[in-house]
């Protein structure tokens, strides 16, 4: 039996002992008062023994946790000894012995139950001692040697009672032992079941853990598959964009294609690109923004060039976090619905030529990294090199090697387009043909190298005023130059030509220690101011220039007004 069960049983037995003691006292007193042959001395002795036994229980109950469980045998032996002393009292009615005998048997049973029931030897010894103690009183009471029959009867009764009690105790002990054995079997079976249950719980936990791990692996696999699909989509899109780049030499179109691809693949809210001037023969910085309304685009455009200056001065290829989940890291791109924005430097070798900004109104938009955007810029930069090489070769084919302005071949190719555009858009067109006066004399006097410097100076002036006024400058022949002004009438063009003509005449060409004065003859024709036939404009400008050369040189002559313009402009 378990320690816990025995402790509970001892506690309950001590509780019930109190009622037995009370009953015994009442019973003894009743026998005395009823005249059942009990003397007052025996009554006092019995009550004293009962109270003593009660006190022993109380002491044991108070200190039983401090002593070993075997002390219950000592307690039972003392109590049985006390009761046996009462039973030894002579000439007492048998009825007085009954409560002491019954309670002594209860104590013997308790001693049997509350100790090791498998220790047969010790149990038997204790039982014999207890029976001897109980029998002593009976033998003392019944043994009367003056009456042989009574003495023999008392002795026989004691022996029979003792054997009977021992046999009953033996049966009881065996029954208790068998029950305890069964209880132990059940206990160990329960322990085994508990162990199995614990193992099953552990196994279930492991299975659950494995299932959780499998589910996690499934989630990770699904996420990896999704990431792989996204990566494949990104790679395919980059390949398609590269194909577009390879088939187009239009940088502006390529920029727009790259940004549209970013918006399509990444679902970005906004993408903008700034490219500094002179990157792809662009005279002014280029900027394009998509994905925002017009009001926001105005605000963004004001920030882009400042942001590019930071990127250029920073000289680092690492992206700049402008906004991170509404946390503004930089002062740019405020006042919009953007909550995430990154600036990506556009660079070629160590040259930072621009900046691209990608933004979104979604939280954690850039949690997958920046590689796609950086790859897009790298592909664009690679294409930009090819475009620049193509434009350089095209520019070399279009421009004069000495003066770097457009040559006659390019003029012959583009003039037809210019004429068509003027007619389609109903614009004005002015053509000025300019020739360096006495150029052969300059070559003969100062040499061809000096002559080349003169040509470059005049070409530079022609190009300066052409670009300033939205036109183009062309080296038409050896020392002849054209200025084509689209959208400008005769009067406006004459003012431009006056200013240029004056600057040429007042500018001295420095070569070695020489200072060479230059003058030019200019012929001007304009559509529809001097002719309504646009196909005659170039020829009329040529005739006007030759009129100036034949009438003293150094003048601006207007088609159809040769004499009038000659007299009015010759003193410029």
Distance CA 145, CA 148 (A): 6
| pLDDT over threshold 50, residue 145 | no
Q: What is the pLDDT of residues 27-62, one digit of tens each?
A: 888 888 877 767 788 788 888 888 888 888 788 777
Mean residue pLDDT of the chain comes to 81
Q: What is the pLDDT of residues 160-202, one digit of tens each?
A: 555 555 555 555 555 655 666 676 677 777 788 888 888 888 8
Q: Which of 479, 539, 484 lies closest to 504 in space, CA to CA?
A: 479
Longest CA–CA separation in the chain, Å: 194
pTM for this model (two decimals): 0.53
Provide the 10 A C-beta neighbour count for residue 288. Answer: 17
Distance CA 488, CA 267 (A): 46
Find all residues with CB under 8 Å of 478, minimum gap 6, and list them.
439
User: DSSP alpha helices (H): ranges in 248-329?
Assistant: 251-266, 294-314
Pairing of strands 320-324, 327-328: antiparallel
Distance CA 399, CA 410 (A): 7
| pLDDT over threshold 50, residue 231 | yes
Find all residues with CB under 8 Å of 489, minimum gap 6, and list them.
428, 430, 526, 529
Q: How confident is the model at residue 570 (pLDDT cuts 50, 70, 90)?
A: very low
Q: What is the pLDDT of residues 61-78, one digit of tens each?
A: 777 655 455 567 777 777
For residue 369, cis peptide bond before it (omega within 30 degrees of 0): no
Distance CA 411, CA 482 (A): 9
Q: Which of 37-51, 136-150, 241-255, 373-387 has the lowest mean pLDDT?
A: 136-150
Placement of tokens 């009743």 in the chain: 30
Distance CA 438, CA 451 (A): 11
Sort 529 into a burial class: Cβ within 10 Å, 0-12 / 13-18 / 19+.
buried
Find all residues with CB under 8 Å of 260, minimum gap 6, and list them.
290
- The DSSP result for 28-96, as a single string, is HHHHHHTTSS--HHHHHHHHHHHHHHHHHHHHHHHHTTTS-TTHHHHHHHHHHHHHHHHHTSSS--HHH
Q: What is the pLDDT of residues 376-391, one digit of tens each?
A: 999 999 888 888 887 7
Q: Which of 259, 435, 222, 464 lies closest to 344 in space, CA to CA?
A: 259
User: DSSP alpha helices (H): ranges in 431-536?
Assistant: 439-446, 448-468, 490-506
**Exposure string (b/e) for 180-194, b if CB count within 10 Å is 16 or more?**
beeeeeeeeeeeeee
Sort 9 into a burial class: Cβ within 10 Å, 0-12 / 13-18 / 19+.
middle
DSSP letter, residue 318: S
Q: What is the pLDDT of residues 410-453, one digit of tens each?
A: 999 899 999 999 999 999 999 999 999 999 999 999 999 999 99
């Amino acid at each position: 039996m378990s320690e816990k069960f025995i402790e509970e049983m001892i506690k309950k037995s001590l509780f019930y002992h109190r009622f037995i003691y009370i009953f015994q006292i009442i019973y003894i007193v009743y026998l005395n008062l009823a005249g059942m042959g009990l003397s007052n001395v025996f009554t006092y002795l019995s009550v004293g023994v009962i109270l003593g036994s009660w006190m022993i229980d109380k002491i044991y109950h108070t200190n039983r946790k401090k002593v070993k469980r075997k002390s219950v045998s000592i307690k039972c032996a003392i109590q049985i000894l006390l009761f046996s002393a009462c039973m030894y009292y002579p000439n007492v009615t048998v009825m007085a012995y009954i409560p002491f005998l019954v309670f002594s048997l209860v104590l013997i049973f308790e001693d049997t139950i509350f100790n090791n029931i498998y220790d047969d030897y010790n149990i038997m010894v204790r039982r014999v001692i207890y029976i001897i103690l109980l029998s002593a009183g009976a033998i003392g009471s019944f043994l009367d040697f003056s009456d042989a029959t009574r003495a023999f009867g008392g002795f026989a009764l004691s022996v029979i009672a003792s054997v009977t009690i021992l046999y009953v105790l033996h049966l009881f002990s065996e029954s208790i032992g068998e029950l305890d054995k069964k209880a132990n079997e059940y206990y160990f079976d329960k322990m085994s079941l508990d162990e199995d249950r614990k193992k099953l719980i552990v196994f279930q936990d492991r299975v659950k853990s494995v299932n959780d791990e499998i589910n996690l692996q499934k989630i990770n696999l699904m996420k990896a598959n999704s990431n792989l699909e996204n990566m494949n989509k990104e790679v395919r899109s980059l390949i398609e964009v590269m194909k577009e780049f390879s088939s187009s030499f239009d940088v502006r179109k390529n920029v727009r294609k790259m940004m549209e691809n970013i918006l399509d693949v990444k679902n970005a809210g906004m993408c903008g690109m700034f490219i500094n001037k002179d990157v792809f023969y662009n005279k002014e910085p280029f900027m394009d923004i998509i994905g925002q309304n017009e009001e926001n685009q105005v605000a963004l455009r004001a920030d882009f060039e400042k942001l590019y200056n930071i990127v250029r001065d920073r000289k680092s290829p690492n992206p700049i976090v402008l906004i991170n989940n509404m946390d503004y890291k930089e002062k740019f791109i405020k006042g919009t619905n953007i909550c995430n924005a990154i600036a990506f430097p556009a660079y070629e070798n160590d040259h930072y030529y621009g900046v691209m900004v990608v933004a979104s109104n979604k939280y954690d938009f850039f949690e997958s990294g920046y590689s796609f955007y950086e790859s897009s810029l790298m592909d664009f930069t690679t294409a930009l090199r090819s475009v620049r090489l193509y434009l350089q070769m095209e520019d070399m084919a279009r421009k004069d090697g000495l003066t770097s302005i457009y040559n006659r071949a390019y003029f012959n190719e583009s003039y037809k387009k210019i004429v068509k555009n003027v007619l389609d858009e109903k614009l004005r067109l002015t053509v000025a043909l300019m020739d360096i006066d006495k150029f052969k004399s300059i070559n003969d006097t100062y040499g061809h190298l000096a002559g080349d410097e003169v040509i470059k100076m005049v070409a530079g002036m022609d190009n300066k005023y052409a670009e300033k006024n939205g036109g183009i400058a062309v080296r038409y022949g050896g020392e002849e130059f054209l200025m084509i002004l689209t959208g400008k009438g005769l009067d406006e063009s004459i003012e431009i030509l006056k200013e240029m003509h004056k600057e040429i005449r007042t500018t001295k060409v420095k070569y070695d220690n020489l200072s060479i004065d230059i003058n030019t003859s200019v012929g001007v024709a304009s559509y529809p101011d001097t002719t309504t036939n646009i196909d005659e404009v170039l020829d009329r400008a040529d005739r006007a220039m030759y009129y100036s050369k034949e009438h003293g040189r150094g003048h601006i002559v207007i088609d159809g007004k040769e004499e009038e313009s000659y007299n009015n402009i010759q003193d410029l």
